[in-house]
């Protein structure tokens, strides 16, 4: 079976002008007609979702959020509930990104609550897991992934698990310019599918136009989650083009 490649951009807390981004992106790929090749997804900040929704109108680009509240709508200051995200026509939400885990103390327990809220809002969760440099050096990569997966995906039914996408993002590879090797990324993806019973795994961590094809060519890697290289439409367009050229 030919895999449907997902090329996802995480704009993080960067303000990106959606219209200029689109113009640049389209230099590399026709946004109306790439559909048969896979999915291109952009996850802007909450406050720019509306601009992206307007700019993308009629195109095949998918939109997602970078986070979701762990709670239903209500008294949760500063949170954005799944219900509030619905009008933006988004389809995905990134959950448990390592920056949130490391800088904001987000736990697997919270991640699991957020996954439940994503499903309640009809969104596909992209759940991030990954080891630190130290854990890798100590030979603890699989153990770390196994624990994160077990605790983050606890209580999900088989039909829900079949809609979870896991992003394998080794922490030492994020924003460092130092990506995992294709062998390590492939091994981790295969392990995650086996351990968690999820059908799709993305690789993330210093993915660029120059190395994306190498990851996409791995049988267990179904796509990429991209930070820095998604900030301009020019670079991301080149990256998506290269990803979809793997045949
Ligand atoms: P990077 O970030 O591509 O800049 O390494 C990846 C991510 O944080 O998802």
Number of H helices, E strands in the chain: 11, 8
- Which residue's CA is the nearest one to ligand 1's atom 6? 227
The tokens for 120 are 């309640």
Instruction: Give the bridge partners for 64, in sequence order.
Output: 92
Q: What is the pTM of this model?
A: 0.97
Instruction: Give the bridge partners for 56, in sequence order.
Output: none
Kindly name the residue from 99, 106, 131, 169 that is annotated as catalytic.
Answer: 169
Question: SS3 for 145?
Answer: helix
Using CB atoms within 10 A of its CB, is residue 239 exposed (0-12), middle (13-18) or buried (19+)?
A: buried
Ligand 1 atom closest to 226 (CA) = 3
Beta strands per DSSP E along 36-191:
38-43, 62-65, 92-95, 124-129, 165-168
User: What pLDDT does residue 35 have?
Assistant: 73
Is 169 in the active site?
A: yes
Rg, Å, the chain Cα set: 17
- Whole-number Å distance, alpha carbon 95 to ligand 1 midpoint, is 14
Strands 38-43 and 5-10: parallel
Q: Which of 216, 247, 227 is nearest to 5 (CA)?
A: 216
Strands 92-95 and 124-129: parallel
- Whole-number Å distance, alpha carbon 210 to ligand 1 midpoint, is 15
Q: What is the pLDDT along the chain (247 residues), one digit of tens a residue?
A: 678 999 999 999 999 999 999 999 999 988 777 777 899 999 999 999 999 999 998 888 999 999 999 999 999 999 999 999 999 999 999 999 999 999 999 999 999 999 999 999 999 999 999 999 999 999 999 999 999 999 999 999 999 999 999 999 999 999 999 999 999 999 999 999 999 999 999 999 999 999 999 999 999 999 999 999 999 999 999 999 999 999 7
User: What pLDDT does residue 70 have?
Assistant: 98
Q: Is 225 in the pocket of ligand 1 (CB under 6 A)?
A: yes
């Amino acid at each position: 079976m030919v895999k449907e490649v997902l090329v996802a951009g995480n704009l993080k807390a960067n303000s990106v002008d959606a219209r200029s981004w689109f113009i640049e992106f389209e230099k590399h790929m026709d946004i109306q007609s790439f559909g048969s090749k896979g999915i291109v997804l952009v996850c802007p900040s909450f406050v720019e979702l509306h601009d992206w929704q307007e700019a993308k109108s009629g195109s095949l680009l998918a939109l997602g959020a970078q986070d979701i509240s762990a709670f239903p709508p209500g008294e949760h200051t500063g949170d954005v509930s799944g219900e509030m995200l619905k009008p933006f026509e988004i389809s995905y939400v990134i959950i448990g990104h390592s920056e949130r885990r490391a800088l904001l103390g987000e736990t697997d327990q919270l991640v699991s609550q957020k996954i439940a809220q994503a499903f309640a809002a009809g969104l596909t969760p992209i759940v991030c897991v990954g080891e630190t440099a130290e854990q890798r050096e100590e030979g603890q990569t699989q153990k770390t992934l196994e624990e994160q997966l077990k605790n983050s995906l606890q209580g999900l039914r088989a039909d829900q698990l079949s809609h979870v996408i896991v992003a394998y993002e080794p922490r030492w590879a994020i924003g460092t310019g130092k990506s995992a090797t294709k062998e390590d990324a492939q091994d981790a993806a295969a392990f995650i599918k086996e351990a968690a019973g999820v059908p799709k795994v993305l690789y993330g961590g210093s993915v660029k136009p120059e190395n994306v094809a190498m990851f996409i060519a791995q049988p267990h890697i179904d796509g990429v989650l991209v930070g820095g290289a998604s900030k301009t439409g020019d670079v991301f367009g080149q990256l998506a083009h290269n990803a979809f050229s793997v045949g």
